[in-house]
Amino acid sequence: MPKICKHEKCNNFVFGGGYCSFHQFLRNKPKKEKPRKSIRRTSKKRREESEVYSGLRTTFLNSHSRCEANLHNCTISATEVHHKRGRGKYYLDVSTWIALCHNCHRWVTDNSKEAIRLGLSTSRLKK
């Protein structure tokens, strides 16, 4: 003799786990998901470094107002800071910075071998 659903007032035959297919579905209904926390765009450490960098960058560009590369299509006034040795551990090291206009900065980042040869950048590969 087939078993009857455990749910009260239900006379359907058992599907699985002691319940009919309808009540078994209701029991296995997915739970409401908790809202996910978004991942921070920057860490606390990097945020603090960025605040310090912002101040250093402003003073650096005020004292170095002319582009130091003076390449083809140079606009002469420096608006950007180029990190000659990369931004990793040298992010706040002002001695590794040079002031460039946007056109020269674009050229230096696009033509790294030539920039290294001209002394506008340094190789980041370990020797």
The pLDDT tens digits for 68-87 are 999 988 999 999 999 999 88
- What is the span of the domain harbouring residue 67? 45-118
pLDDT higher than threshold 60 for residue 127: no
Q: For residue 77, what are the β-bridge partners?
A: 66
Residue 102 or 34, more confident: 102
pLDDT band at 125 (very low <50, low <70, confident <90, very high): confident
pLDDT value, residue 115: 94
Residue 31 lies in a domain: no
Mean pLDDT, residues 14-42: 82
Residue 105: what pLDDT?
95
In a domain, 59, yes or no: yes
Q: What angle do CA 99, 105, 107 make, to 5 degrees?
A: 145
Question: Residue 17, by phi and psi: left (phi above 0), alpha (psi -120 to 50) or beta?
Answer: left
Residues of the chain with pLDDT > 70: what percent?
Answer: 97
Q: Is position 52 within any domain?
A: yes
Would you say residue 110 has pLDDT above 90?
yes
How far apart are alpha carbons 118 and 96 in whole angstroms?
Answer: 15
Lowest mean pLDDT among 1-10, 45-54, 103-112: 1-10
**Residue 39, in any domain of the structure:** no
Question: Is there a domain that residue 58 lies in?
Answer: yes
Looking at the structure of the chain, the number of domains it has is 1
Is residue 89 one of the residues assigned to a domain?
A: yes
pLDDT (0 to 100) of residue 52: 96
